[in-house]
Amino acid sequence: MTDKERIATELDAVRRRSLALLDPVPDDDLVRQHSPLMSPLVWDLAHVGNYEEQWLLGAVAGTRVAAHLDGIYDAFRNARKDRPQLDLLGPVEARTYVTDVRSRVLDVLERLELDGDGLLDEGFVYGMVVQHEHQHDETMTATLQLRTSTEYPLVDITDVGDAGDADASLPSEVRVDAGPFLMGTDLEPWAYDNERPAHTVDVDSFWIDTAPVTNAAFVEFIADGGYDDRRWWTDEGWAWRQKAGLQHPEFWAPDGAGGWVRTRLGRVEDVPPHEPVQHVCWYEADAYARWAGKRLPTEAEWEKAASWTPDGVKRRYPWGDDPTPFLANLSTSSRFSPAPDGTFPGDASPWGCRQMIGDVWEWTSSDFMPYPGFRSFPYREYSEVFFGTEYKVLRGGSWATHPTAIRTTFRNWDFPIRRQIFAGFRCARDA
Ligand SMILES: [Fe+2]
């Protein structure tokens, strides 16, 4: 496949995903705001089209079709809570707009030379736009999860089985040897600025959990009074736990018989014991780790355990460099849920860690900081304006992340109080 063919295929795939995701949602639910944390879904849809227009028509070809929409769909000018009050395109207009932009983008792509300056180098700007839309698809999936009153239609998954018991023989932790490793990337053509440059980091030896913390393990923390035990919480974490009244992961409720149910895309179901826990904030993850006598891994530890072989070779994915077949539970598996450990048996990292890509984003102990030698590209608002101690880094992607938008060097970040994202964690400790 040529670069242009790959780009056209990726553009087509992400648009199919976006439209299919929204297809079952009635128009009045597309324009409604389901949570002050999220945009109306119809804003996300036109926003991805506007972003595509700005970069793949404006920046690449110097042409625009609807520059007057920039003010409405600029994420920095409009906080999410204010977006319902904007003069938004309706569902029909939004679909027409993104389709119109796309047909012009494909015309431009056909005429273009894909080399030269940084934006076009190896199709970078196209990769940026494709990943941006996939990231919004994950955000829209989180919005659909917050719309708890309506059952979102799910595809039947044939491989559903609780594989957790099959892997009870796995060690609960693996040891990663001390020594330097290469963090970040210079080679990945579609990597974001915050993943660059590749640089050597010396890491002490450490133990890291083989798999993310499961629902069953998290239930033990709850049953042991973990939410009410001040010892396990940082000062900020305890203050937030009190203020927000945290007592269990978001979307969970007691089942009346000593167990737990969860609401998933509008369905109430038993909490599956062997799936990774999700919808916990950083403070809850950190408190659990202390209760377990451990800590959260740093992002350097996480990346080394996921990507570095004992022989000193960097891998794009835990299992190797080959993107196909994709050996992890990502959006392409259509589960709309994390999977029990063992469901994707080929996903182990060189050290034996499982489920590092897909299932749940994993909170790390690290603040979101630039790598040494960081250079903002192509715009400050992608990463640079977020650097600092306010945000914690998450790694590895979730079941709602697309393969094109994840790799072992990929960095995500969010506030430590956020729970609507598909985030869980694994623990680590010093060796
Ligand atoms: Fe965006």
Mean pLDDT calculated for residue range 295-316: 97
Intra-chain end-to-end CA distance of the chain, in Å: 46
Q: Let me know if residue 105 belongs to a domain.
A: yes
Question: 294 and 219 share a domain?
Answer: yes
Q: Let me know if residue 39 belongs to a domain.
A: yes
Q: Which two tokens stand for residue 387?
A: 């650097």
> How confident is the model at residue 93, as a pLDDT?
97
Distance 336 CA to ligand 1 centre (A): 22
Distance 322 CA to ligand 1 centre (A): 28
Distance 167 CA to ligand 1 centre (A): 39
Question: 269 and 399 share a domain?
Answer: yes
Confidence of residue 168 (pLDDT cuts 50, 70, 90): low
Whether residue 340 contacts residue 164, with contact meaning beta carbons closer than 8 Å, is answered with: yes
Distance 32 CA to ligand 1 centre (A): 19
Nearest residue to 187 (alpha-carbon basis) of 179, 197, 178: 197
Distance 47 CA to ligand 1 centre (A): 7
Distance 271 CA to ligand 1 centre (A): 32
Question: 278 and 202 share a domain?
Answer: yes
Confidence of residue 156 (pLDDT cuts 50, 70, 90): low
Distance 136 CA to ligand 1 centre (A): 6
Of 122, 146, 170, at which residue does a domain stop? 146
> How confident is the model at residue 157, as a pLDDT?
64
Q: Let me know if residue 152 belongs to a domain.
A: no
Nearest residue to 398 (alpha-carbon basis) of 304, 279, 274: 279
Of 115, 146, 177, at which residue does a domain stop? 146
Question: What number of other Cβ atoms are within 10 A of residue 377's Cβ?
Answer: 17
Q: Which two tokens stand for residue 254?
A: 């007691």
pTM (2 decimals)? 0.96
Question: 93 and 240 share a domain?
Answer: no
Residue with token string 């990943």: 131
> How confident is the model at residue 339, as a pLDDT?
93
> How confident is the model at residue 291, as a pLDDT?
98
In this predicted model, what pLDDT tens digit does every residue of 179-209 receive, in sequence order?
A: 999 999 999 999 999 999 999 999 999 999 9
Confidence of residue 82 (pLDDT cuts 50, 70, 90): confident
Distance 368 CA to ligand 1 centre (A): 19
Distance 215 CA to ligand 1 centre (A): 31
Question: In angstroms, what CA-CA distances link 192 with 331, 351, 387?
Answer: 20, 26, 14
Mean pLDDT calculated for residue range 289-313: 98
> How confident is the model at residue 352, as a pLDDT?
95
Distance 49 CA to ligand 1 centre (A): 10
Nearest residue to 363 (alpha-carbon basis) of 294, 285, 295, 309: 285
Confidence of residue 158 (pLDDT cuts 50, 70, 90): low
Q: Which of 114-128, 280-294, 403-417 has the lowest mean pLDDT?
A: 114-128
Whether residue 214 contacts residue 276, with contact meaning beta carbons closer than 8 Å, is answered with: yes
Distance 44 CA to ligand 1 centre (A): 8
Distance 54 CA to ligand 1 centre (A): 12
Q: Let me know if residue 242 belongs to a domain.
A: yes
Distance 387 CA to ligand 1 centre (A): 17
Question: 269 and 401 share a domain?
Answer: yes
Q: Let me know if residue 340 belongs to a domain.
A: yes
- Per-residue HEC secondary structure of 3-60 comes to HHHHHHHHHHHHHHHHHHHHCCCCHHHHHCCCCCCCCCHHHHHHHHHHHHHHHHHHHH
CATH number for the domain spanning 366: value is: 3.90.1580.10
Question: 392 and 302 share a domain?
Answer: yes
Whether residue 43 contacts residue 73, with contact meaning beta carbons closer than 8 Å, is answered with: yes
Q: Is the dihedral of CA 249, 255, 261, 262 positive or negative?
A: negative
Q: Which stretch of DSSP H or E encloses residue 104?
A: helix 91-111
Question: 391 and 261 share a domain?
Answer: yes
Q: Which of 4-18, 19-33, 64-78, 143-157 has the lowest mean pLDDT?
A: 143-157
What domain count does the chain have?
2
Could you tell me whether strands 179-183 and 199-203 are parallel, antiparallel, or unpaired per DSSP bridges?
A: antiparallel
Q: Is the pLDDT of residue 159 over 70?
A: no
Distance 280 CA to ligand 1 centre (A): 23
Query: Rounded CA gap, 145 and 230, in Å?
Result: 31
Distance 45 CA to ligand 1 centre (A): 10
Distance 28 CA to ligand 1 centre (A): 22
- Give the three-class secondary structure for 277: coil
Residue with token string 């009050």: 85
> How confident is the model at residue 191, as a pLDDT?
97
Query: Rounded CA gap, 93 and 99, in Å?
Result: 10
Of 146, 167, 198, at which residue does a domain stop? 146
Residue with token string 């027409």: 96
Longest CA pairwise span in the chain (Å): 65
> How confident is the model at residue 331, as a pLDDT?
95
Q: What percent of the chain has pLDDT over 90?
A: 85
Distance 65 CA to ligand 1 centre (A): 19
> How confident is the model at residue 418, as a pLDDT?
98
Question: 270 and 169 share a domain?
Answer: yes
Question: 202 and 299 share a domain?
Answer: yes
Q: Is the pLDDT of residue 167 over 90?
A: no
Burial class of residue 256 in the structure, from the number of CB atoms within 10 Å of its CB (0-12 exposed, 13-18 middle, 19+ buried): exposed
Query: Rounded CA gap, 394 and 414, in Å?
Result: 8
Mean pLDDT of the chain: 94
Question: 199 and 239 share a domain?
Answer: yes
Distance 320 CA to ligand 1 centre (A): 30
CATH number for the domain spanning 124: value is: 1.20.120
In this predicted model, what pLDDT tens digit does every residue of 84-114 receive, in sequence order?
A: 889 999 999 999 999 999 999 999 999 998 8
Whether residue 400 contacts residue 378, with contact meaning beta carbons closer than 8 Å, is answered with: no
Distance 382 CA to ligand 1 centre (A): 9
Distance 401 CA to ligand 1 centre (A): 15
Q: Is the pLDDT of residue 358 over 90?
A: yes
Query: Rounded CA gap, 129 and 94, in Å?
Result: 17
Q: Which of 126-140, 230-244, 340-354 has the lowest mean pLDDT?
A: 340-354
Q: Let me know if residue 151 belongs to a domain.
A: no
Mean pLDDT calculated for residue range 246-250: 98
Question: 44 and 110 share a domain?
Answer: yes
Per DSSP, the residues of 330-350 read SGGG--SS---TTSSGGG--T
Q: Let me know if residue 153 belongs to a domain.
A: no
Q: Is the pLDDT of residue 284 over 70?
A: yes
Give the structural domain span for 235: 158-431
Distance 46 CA to ligand 1 centre (A): 10
Q: Which two tokens stand for residue 227?
A: 């939410």
Question: 111 and 207 share a domain?
Answer: no
Query: Rounded CA gap, 338 and 211, in Å?
Result: 12
Residue with token string 């395109």: 89
